[in-house]
Amino acid sequence: MSGYGSYLDLDVSVDDHVAIVEIQRPPHNYFDFALIGALAQAFEDLGADDDCRAIVLCAHGKSFCAGANFGDKDTGTRADEKRQSGHLYQEAVRLFRTPKPVIGVIQGAAIGGGLGLALMPDFRIACPEARFSANFTRLGFHPGFGLTTTLPELIGTSKAAMMFYTSRRIKGEEAYAMGLADVLVPLEKLREAAMDLATEISQCSPLGVVETRATLRQGLADRVKAATDHELEVQDRLRATEDFKEGVKAMAERRIPNFQGH
In the chain, what are the domains? 2-189+201-206 (3.90.226.10)
- Which residues of the chain register pLDDT less than 70? 1-3, 70-86
* Side chain identity, residue 243: D
Q: Contact at 8 Å (CB) between 7 and 42? A: yes
On average, the pLDDT of the chain sits at: 93
Task: Kindly report the pTM of this predicted structure.
Answer: 0.93
- H-type alpha helices, 123-189: 147-155, 157-166, 172-177
Q: What is the pLDDT of residue 86?
A: 67
Q: What is the pLDDT of residue 4?
A: 72
Specify the 3-state DSSP secondary structure of 256: coil
